[in-house]
Amino acid sequence: MEIIGHHTCFKKGGETTVLKEAPFPSKTDKEIPFLGEGYYFWDDNLDMAKFWGSRFYKNDYFVVEGIITTSKDIFLDLVGNRQDMKLFRNLMNDFKSKGFNAENWSIGAFIEFLKQLSKYDAKIFPYKIIRAIDHSASLVKHLTFYFVQGKENFTNLAPRILICLVEKNSVFLRITKIVAQS
């Protein structure tokens, strides 16, 4: 399976350096990112990558496009795979039943915990690529399309889908070009 990903980053170093070194890691000392530490892409969403650049990179950004190639054994798909969603919930419940306070962890903190455990047993969390939807209430409203007029049921035809690469690896990531800049 191939996914087009858009990675937003600072222009620091210029086009040549960015194309050579992208993607850049997302990690902070203050809080764990959405899906843990890693290399983040928007799932084929150039508009969201530009929005992110204008908001978080203060209009000093490039958007780099890459092709992410994955297989089921390394891909945790919390967007379109019901079995992966159940697996992830079951993992949280398993740790909760063992006395861990997993239900109060953020998803990113739980993933970081699983990554640490997988150093001792790779089968615990073998995933190198994680995909999830961010349902930020502030953005959903203008992207809402109702199924039936006057009813509350809706769908979002432009969801914020995040992809996190746990590691930078040319086996499953090929950076192709800069597709936007401020």
4-38 per-position pLDDT tens digit: 999 999 999 999 999 999 999 997 777 889 999 99
Prediction pTM value: 0.91
Domain count for the chain = 1
Boundaries of domain holding 30:
2-181
Mean pLDDT, residues 113-118? 94
Task: Report which residue type is found at 86.
Answer: K
Q: Each residue of 79-111: pLDDT tens digit? A: 999 999 999 999 988 988 888 876 678 899 999
Strands (E), the chain: 2-10, 39-43, 61-69, 75-77, 129-134, 144-146, 154-156, 160-165, 173-181
Question: How many residues comprise the chain?
Answer: 182
DSSP letter, residue 18: H
Specify the pLDDT at position 164.
97
Tokens for 67, please give them. 């092709």
Q: Each residue of 31-73: pLDDT tens digit? A: 889 999 999 999 999 999 999 999 999 889 999 999 999 999 9
**CA 177 vs CA 15, 24, 161: distances in Å:** 9, 15, 20
- 39-43/2-10 β-pairing: antiparallel
d(CA 91, CA 87): 6
**CA 2 vs CA 5, 8, 68, 129: distances in Å:** 9, 19, 6, 12
